[in-house]
Amino acid sequence: MGYIKNREQLLARGETALRRLALDIAEAGIAYADPGNALRRQISMEGDALLIEGRLYGGEAGSRIFVVGAGKASFPIAKALDELLGERIHKGIVTCKYGQEGTLDHIELRLASHPIPDQASLEAAAATVELLREVRSGDIVLCCFTGGSSSLFVSLVPGITLQDKAIANDILLTCGANIIEINDVRKHLSTVKGARLIRDLAPGVTVINLTVSDVIGDALDYITDPSFPDQSTFADAQAVLDKYRLWDRMPVAIASFLRMAPPEHETVREQELEHLSRHDVILVSADAACIGAADEARRAGITPLLLSTFFEGESSALGRNLVAIAKQIALDGRPLSPPCILIGGGETTVTTSEKRGTGGPNQEFAVSAALELAGTTGIAVVGLDTDGTDGPTQYAGGVADGSTAGLAIELGVDLHQALTHHDVTPALERIFHVVKTGATGTNVNDLKLVLVMNPV
């Protein structure tokens, strides 16, 4: 599997065998969520036509195939399409994060910034819009937009700058809003999201969305994908700013635009796309990493309990609560007996003030769990963002067991203070408990694991 780059460091201390098993299960979860492998299982060629979910597309003479996309999990999809379709691809542009390794033979690969957009993000969206002007009736557009496209693929409404967007994004990510609420605002600051990218395609064009769901419950209209219609309105975006009292914190241009709510900038409804033939294919669901982790646990003789793939709320609270369940299991075998593993997905958050340190939700989950686990044995915790980037850091998440808090004291690291000030990354770095994967090629929210092997 090999996703975790600092595995040796993570296994140099603590309950080594326990950690190794927990990390193996985590890596299996990420591997199961690989969208390139999923595409190869679900899509094939039959002559010159694409066979997708039992239907043929593009076998007609003169039908051309275009590929467009952007996101943290888009490269594996594009790579699989590149290999599968080859010369059948007429043109394509896919935009990925700086540092993306690999090449594409029939699709232009662009790189841009994430999580803060840059000029390349604007240019990528503009180039893609221009490419789609070439699409004519009878053609096929394969879309592979995934999580992260909000930064990598940017086309802003009039009067708003990249700096405005970056400030707004930071505010939204740290105010306690969930991803659906965040996306309701994001979509109303873009000229391509909410299906505005494809609205003006010619009648008779086939649009096939090949995506990785990074939204709890796979509710596709909640994501920021430029190729999906949207049900949210300016009123929904305004409600988010009301709920979290963000009007005075937002850049003036953004607050003004959302108050005006110009109808011509509303997102696109399903009925506005009736001139197109649209098909949505979820290659990897938001629960994929949890399912893969559960399968690996069973192979190792560990009983998995998939608690929920809908976890939301404060990461630190979830860390405390899952450890409480693990302690109950270790004490009297309720609700199940060891060896077992608690598995959860979703997207937890961190609510911060303007003065904060460096960290991410999964790292806060690990630190919170570490404090609750102090002095125990037989319990290990892993919290990962499956895309490899936990918050605005270079790490995927963190690990903890009963020895973590003691090691922190020994090395002069105050985990309580780190958690209070949302400055957990430096603390975890100093005690060698951060998990580093780099870009994983998938993006299916968080993976939370609590492995219980023997009584406390």
Residues 373 and 324 in one domain: yes
Task: Name the percent of the chain lying above pLDDT 90.
Answer: 87
Residues 111 and 209 in one domain: yes
Q: Return mean pLDDT, the chain.
A: 94
Residues 322 and 448 in one domain: yes
Residues 314 and 202 in one domain: no
Residues 299 and 277 in one domain: no
Q: Is residue 312 a part of any domain in this protein?
A: yes
Pairing status of strand 89-97 against strand 65-70? parallel
Residues 403 and 293 in one domain: yes
Domain with 411 in it: 7-32+287-452
353: nearest Cα among 254, 415, 416, 423? 423
pLDDT score, position 186: 94
pLDDT score, position 217: 66
Beta-strand runs (E) in 231-334: 277-284, 303-311
CATH number of the domain that residue 43 is part of: 3.40.50.10180
Residues 228 and 306 in one domain: no
Q: Is residue 49 a part of any domain in this protein?
A: yes
Residues 314 and 366 in one domain: yes
Judge if pTM exceeds 0.85: yes
pLDDT score, position 225: 78
Please count the structural domains in the chain: 2
Mean pLDDT is lowest, of 64-68, 123-127, 209-213, for: 209-213
Residues 280 and 138 in one domain: yes
Residues 72 and 120 in one domain: yes
66: nearest Cα among 14, 9, 144, 1? 144
Q: Is residue 174 a part of any domain in this protein?
A: no
pLDDT score, position 1: 58
**Residue finishing a domain among 251, 284, 317:** 284
Q: Is residue 237 a part of any domain in this protein?
A: no
Q: Is residue 201 a part of any domain in this protein?
A: yes
pLDDT of 168 over the 70 cut: yes
More confident residue, 321 or 356: 321
Residues 89 and 141 in one domain: yes
70 contacts 95 by C-beta, under 8 angstroms: yes
- Grade residue 72 by pLDDT with cuts at 50, 70 and 90: very high
Q: Is residue 251 a part of any domain in this protein?
A: no
Sorted by sequence, the CB contacts under 8 Å of residue 25 that are 6+ apart come out as 293, 296, 297, 300, 302, 341, 382, 449, 451
Q: Is residue 93 a part of any domain in this protein?
A: yes
pLDDT score, position 223: 65
- Grade residue 62 by pLDDT with cuts at 50, 70 and 90: confident
Half-sphere exposure of 380 (CA within 13 A, CB side): 23
Residues 275 and 292 in one domain: no
pLDDT score, position 213: 84
Q: With H, G, I as helix, E, B as strand and everything else as coil, classify residue 8.
A: helix
Q: Is residue 273 a part of any domain in this protein?
A: yes
pLDDT of 354 over the 80 cut: no
CATH number of the domain that residue 321 is part of: 3.40.1480.10
26 contacts 7 by C-beta, under 8 angstroms: no
pLDDT score, position 221: 67
